[in-house]
Amino acid sequence: MSSPAPVRLAKSVSSWSERSLAAVWHPCSQMQWHPDLPLVSIKRAEGPWLFGHDGARYFDAIGSWWVCLLGHRHPAVVQALREQLGELDHVMLAGLTHEPVVELSERLSQKTGNVLGHAFYGSDGASAVEIAIKMSAHAWQHRGHAKKQSFVCLAGGYHGETLGALGVTDLAGFRQPYEGLLHPAYVVPNADARQALPGEDARAVAQRQAQHLEALLERCADRIAAIVTEPLVQCAGGMIFYDPEYLRQVRALCDRYCVHWIADEIAVGCGRTGTFFACEQAGVWPDFLCLSKGISGGVLPLSIVLSRDELYRLFLDESVSKAFLHSHSFSGNALACRAALAVLDVLDHDRVLATNRLRAIRLSARLQPIFEHARVRHFRQLGMIWAWDVADAPADFSRRVYRVALRHQLLLRPIGNTVYLMPPYLLSDADIDTLGDSVVALMREVLR
């Protein structure tokens, strides 16, 4: 058989952006909007900055979808990967193990006070949620409660786009085309602090909204395996902030009605809300905790499900039929685990989360003019997350902000009428001032 003819690019396809539009189906994008909506070709990155092939630079104010905790190409992470490549790149985790995966599992468990004692590995956030969902339903089977196969999610919640994760996602734009393929979840009202009634604070909202979950569990707990929540901030739903009291209520109700709690800390974990795990701020731990995104510093795909030991032990038996047979070819990849260990080292040794409190104060002060604008509503901040809503925003608001932001050397992707910042942690005072001043200038332009 003769070899296929080599693919030749049309002469009109010259730039990297044009070649990408001709060959790449980009995620979470309406491709018809390109090339009118700029597709930016990035050549390199360093710290909080992205550098285009055209010589322009952009402040990565959203951490490239919330994954670049320490900034791009952090020297400690780069060095750790170089060293790991000199020893082991990858080996399957079925029947084998290696140092990075053992050390990472131990260190993450220690950060929960060893409440969550075992770690299962996947590749991305959606797969972590899938794993936790399967573990929960399977665990109830082992306990003789095979009817517990349904799940609960919060209004406006997002947990990924594979079918199981999409089943516990309450965002119509992602769900609607695939409704016929999904196992629908029960949806209960969230505890969005913006819903406060006169005289209420965020804690009171949480207590009031938890009553909806209690009513559901009272009726249907015999069919419900678990509730899935994003602790403290529902990110893709529009940066919905809520009080830690809601998590305390969730934990108490799950214990009372024999339901598991799955905490999706994929976006909010690894210090993003100010503590390493967002659940720490409520003083309670879930049955399963999902991590991804920032855990590897945005360098390699990695996701983890931490579970309680008593649930892990339910799967121990002489029969393989009782084992948890979920698998992933790159589960516990040595390079990704070593990158995650380097991230943990930087966070611990450099006291990053403590210093982030000072960074947050400085950036919030720099953003004060936005808070004072007549069309801005609900300016909010937690840890290294900032968000605000814009009143009377046009239908194309997010696209317009994205386009104008590029002119201000910023990478931003608003969610509807909500503008947010989730920048890398390791920002100098000069970086913070540059970011704050650029965002203020951007908002003045789009709101005039």
Q: What is the pLDDT of residue 12?
A: 47
d(CA 60, CA 46) in angstroms, rounded, equals 10
pLDDT of the residue at 2:
47
What pTM was estimated for this model as a whole?
A: 0.95
pLDDT at 164: 96
The answer to whether residue 128 sits within a structural domain is: yes
Q: Which DSSP category does 302 fall into?
A: -
Mark whether 107 and 131 lie in a shared domain.
yes
In a domain, 139, yes or no: yes
pLDDT tens-digit series, residues 279-323: 999 999 999 999 999 999 999 999 999 999 999 999 999 999 899
Give the C-alpha separation, 189 to 209, whole Å.
Answer: 6
Task: Note whether 233 and 368 are same-domain residues.
Answer: no
| Lookup: tokens for 413 | 């992707």
In which domain, by residue range, is 145 found? 77-349
**Helix, strand, coil share (%) of the chain residues, nearest 5:** 45, 15, 40
What residue ranges in 230-375 does DSSP mark as E strands? 233-234, 240-241, 260-264, 288-291, 303-308
Res 36: pLDDT: 82
> Are 373 and 231 part of one and the same domain?
no
**Residue at which a domain ends, from 295, 314, 349:** 349
Beta bridge partners of 415: 418
Claim to verify: residue 123 and residue 106 sit in the same structural domain? yes
Residue 295 is inside which H or E element, if any? none
Q: Which of 322, 349, 376 is the last residue in one of the domains?
A: 349
Last residue of a domain, one of 349, 382, 400: 349
227 and 361 within one domain: no
Residue 289, judged by CB atoms within 10 A of its CB (0-12, 13-18, 19+), counts as buried
- E strand or H helix at 135, and its extent? helix 125-142
Residue 430, domain member (yes or no): yes
Contact between 388 and 379 (Cβ < 8 Å): yes
The residues that bridge with 359 in the sheet, in sequence order, are none
Q: pLDDT at position 14, please?
A: 62
Residue 330 is part of a domain; what is its CATH number?
3.40.640.10
Given a cut of 70, the residues of the chain with pLDDT beneath it are 1-14
